[in-house]
Chains A and B, each alone.
Chain A
Amino acid sequence: MRHGFRQSMAWLHTWSGLIVGWVLFAVFVTGTASYYRAEISRWMQPELRREATIGPDALARAAELGVAHLQQHAAGARTWFIALPQPDRPLIDLFWRTKPGTPPGRAVLDARTGEPAALRETRGGDFFYRFHFELHLPPLWGRWIVGICAMIMLVALVSGVVTHRRIFADFFTLRRDKAAQRGWLDAHNVTGVLALPFHLMITYTGVVTLALIYMPWGVTVAYKGDQQAFFAESGQITQPRPAAGRPGALVPVGPMVREALATIPEPLERLTISHPRDAHATVVAVFEEPHGLSHEHPQIAFDGTSGAVLEVRRGGLQPAAKTFTTMVGLHEAHFAGPGLRLLFFLCGLMGSAMVATGLVLWTVARLPKEGRAPGLGWRLVHALNVGTVAGLPAAVAMMLLANRLLPAGLAGRAEWEVWAFFGTWLAVTLVALVPAPRRAWSGAMAFAAILFLAVAVADGLTTRALWDDPAWFLAFDAAMLALAAACALVARKVTRYVAPARGRRSPAEGRPMPAAQARTALQPVPAGREEAGRRFERA
């Protein structure tokens, strides 16, 4: 029986956190990695040569090369996307949609020649970015699952704050000399409370980013379900033009690119061409967002058959739309320079740690009594915990390792990398069921450590000749070594952990722990915290 508000919130916190914890951990880790998405992409394509600047002429030429390729290979598509070369990525990334239900097409061209670029095939940092909100599922399914988990995460955050009796008194407290459960609870509290502003912001803005998927009814009623019309009227995109149904010829896009560059001073990011063979073909030039919190891309729409400017959209959003774009901007943190980006990254790591410690705490608080075999539920949670908390980092490392070790010309190479990721994740989860819990944890973390170490070594051995900027690649590899060290440290701690003996509680600690606090530990503890720690050790 649960009496009282706080106890019911503790119950809610425990179970809402547990059921979505594994997905949340994956979402947090891949989202945190996405702060360095461009860097990960660059590392995963070491053949890429950067350029100092790309002038308007080169951009205009690249756009025409892209259109020429699409005319030849994607004539029937309804929309073409041409990402233009940037100094950091001097390539033409093509993407096209034919009709709903058929997979989109992609191609990557060399910006100078228009030939397919000679790069190893990989999803790069985009894999983690898309996994962060689509889980590598069909996009709508993935977004629904992540969205529901994020909403439950908000529930867990608020109920966790209510449950935590001593937010201010325990704000700085991380006791490592106490029983296992106490230490885990402290770690959970510290990572949760300290970065609480970040956790609330990132979860809330994450839900808001995809809110139209979760709450489409307003748009359904007011715009008859036409989301594009809603986006256009709220000022986020240029007015869409439906196809005329008559054939039309696209005029060269080079002059449009030059005109766009002369109109808006931001870097030009991509062209979107809808109905390319229709009389109403529309070319939209999309710019990078200007420096600011708000995520708004300036855009210019051209008539594709005449080249005339249809619309220039730059700023001037209404307050509601501005609020929305600012929330998206805060979530993505494109505005952050290196220092602030590192802080966002640290906050993301703390979020991952909060979820991970919460999951571990569930099992530590429910260790089976001595001499009894753990029940099916406990073993399931334990295996999923090891499989996620240790397995996901191992999977990330394996994907990076596959990027270096798979032969460059392998057919379907990008898919093989993805298989390496999921295969490792699944394998760690299954293998975690076999050994005793403690060995499973230390073994899995040691495995992840070895993989991260292997990533750095493999990069140095196989790719050194390709590095265009050795210091940059060495810095990335150093980050991999730091991750390896972190995993190894956890593995070592788990192996060497000795629970404090009963009654060795230092008198300097002051008053004994009130009974209420044991309840804050989310559940009644069966037989004393110290003993729980020792049981975990034996288990």
Chain B
Amino acid sequence: MTPLVLALNLGLSFLGLTALCVSLPRHHGAVSAAVLALRRVVLLRLAGWTLIALSLLAAAALDGWNFGPVQWLGSLIGAGLMLIVALSYDPGAIRWLVLASVLGLVAAPAALLLDPSWRTESPEAGEEVPAPRHGGR
């Protein structure tokens, strides 16, 4: 569960959710002044759901079907929170976040290829040492 996989998941989730979000008439104006035609709605929704599905597949492929779905849902929620806060407080920031996500998505596979250590199953060193649990629960 490298930070890289998490970043990949966050990026895909953010792009997917943003596509779904701007496919809604209420939020379309946040990023574009163009008219929201039906064709565009369909395209955006298709792209949105595809990206979210890709995020699940990426999480499962890199972290396995045990951790993958947990990681996927976690990043989906995190990305959603980021999107809603941006939408509500500074819709202009969404463009920058989309740009950052795209750049991250381009960079992440490159980094993954360069660093094969993500294949190892072992937990990260120094991950977390839980405090002693006295007497069980």
Give the B-binding residues of A (Cβ under 8 A): 37-38, 41, 79, 81, 83, 86-89, 93, 95, 97, 104, 124-126, 129, 133, 169, 171-176, 190, 194-195, 197-198, 209-210, 267, 269-270, 288, 291-293, 330, 334-341, 343-344, 346-347, 350, 508, 510
Chain B residues whose CB sits within 8 angstroms of the CB of A176 once the complex forms = 88-89
| Given A291-B122, A291-B123, A346-B78: A38 touches B131 (CB 8 Å cut-off) | yes
Taken residue by residue from 68 to 97, chain B's Cβ proximity to chain A (1 for < 8 Å, 0 otherwise) reads as: 001101110110110111011100000000
Counting chain A CB atoms within 10 Å of each CB, which of B77, B89, B121 scores highest? B77
Chain B residues whose CB sits within 8 angstroms of the CB of A87 once the complex forms = 129
Q: Is the CB of B6 within 8 A of A124?
A: no
Q: Is the CB of B6 within 8 A of A173?
A: no
Interface CB pairs A-B, < 8 A, 8: A95-B134, A125-B131, A174-B88, A288-B130, A337-B1, A346-B77, A350-B77, A510-B26
Q: Is the CB of B77 within 8 A of A194?
A: yes
Q: Does any Cβ of A come within 8 Å of B66's Cβ? A: yes
| Given A38-B129, A95-B135, A172-B27: A194 touches B80 (CB 8 Å cut-off) | yes
Q: Is the CB of B1 within 8 A of A93?
A: no
Chain A residues whose CB sits within 8 angstroms of the CB of B85 once the complex forms = 174
Closest Cβ of chain A to B128, distance in Å, is: 7
Give A505 to B77 CA distance when docked, in angstroms. Answer: 31
Q: Is the CB of B131 within 8 A of A126?
A: yes
Q: Is the CB of A340 within 8 A of B131?
A: no
Question: A344's contact among B20, B74, B84, B124, by CB below 8 Å, is which?
Answer: B74
Question: B74's contact among A37, A93, A291, A347, by CB below 8 Å, is which?
Answer: A347
Q: Does any Cβ of A come within 8 Å of B67's Cβ? A: yes
Chain B at the A interface: mostly helix, strand, loop or mixed?
helix
Q: Is the CB of A174 within 8 A of B73?
A: no
Q: Is the CB of A337 within 8 A of B130?
A: no
Q: Does any Cβ of A come within 8 Å of B109's Cβ? A: no
Chain A at the B interface: mostly helix, strand, loop or mixed?
mixed
Counting chain A CB atoms within 10 Å of each CB, which of B73, B128, B132 scores highest? B132
Give A87 to B20 CA distance when docked, in angstroms. Answer: 47
Q: Does any Cβ of A come within 8 Å of B3's Cβ? A: yes
Give A291 to B67 CA distance when docked, in angstroms. Answer: 10
Give the A-binding residues of B (Cβ under 8 A): 1, 3, 6, 17, 20-21, 24-27, 29, 66-67, 70-71, 73-75, 77-78, 80-81, 83-85, 87-89, 121-124, 127-135, 137
Closest Cβ of chain A to B85, distance in Å, is: 8
Chain A residues whose CB sits within 8 angstroms of the CB of B130 once the complex forms = 37-38, 269, 288, 334
The 10 closest A-B pairs by CB, nearest first: A83-B132, A343-B74, A291-B123, A339-B6, A174-B88, A95-B134, A88-B129, A172-B21, A194-B80, A337-B1
Give A79 to B122 CA distance when docked, in angstroms. Answer: 34
Known: A93-B134, A194-B84, A336-B128. 13 other contacts (CB 8 A): A129-B131, A171-B21, A173-B26, A173-B27, A174-B84, A174-B88, A175-B88, A194-B77, A267-B129, A293-B66, A293-B70, A340-B70, A346-B81
